[in-house]
Amino acid sequence: MSYKEESEKVSPAADEAMAQLVELFSDPSLDSQAQFRCCVDGPDEFDFLFESIADEQFGYNPNSEYKGWVRSVYRLGLIPRMPSEWEAPETPEGQSPA
């Protein structure tokens, strides 16, 4: 698959986010000793732990903002995996998700 074909599948929002990341990481004014950590494998055990604590404190929400964001990033193909517990909840036919 060529870069052009691949880039046509990416949404404008994802493309803009990537451009902003490139700009940030290319900034010559940043100290050369700066280190950035960007997880590209998907949520790790700490992300899962923090979300489970929020679920315990505020009640389980299958459509929490963070879970929804992870699903969106996963659908865009920017991360290779996500917890199966965070997959979109099933909705009965004829109903739209809340």
Residues 22 and 3: their CA atoms lie apart, in Å, by: 17
For the chain, give me the number of helices (H) and strands (E)?
A: 4, 0
Whole-structure pTM over 0.85, yes or no?
Answer: no
Work out the mean pLDDT of the chain and round it to a whole number.
Answer: 75
> Which has more confidence, 47 or 90?
47
Q: Where are the domains of the chain?
A: 39-86
Q: For residue 70, which amino acid is it? A: V
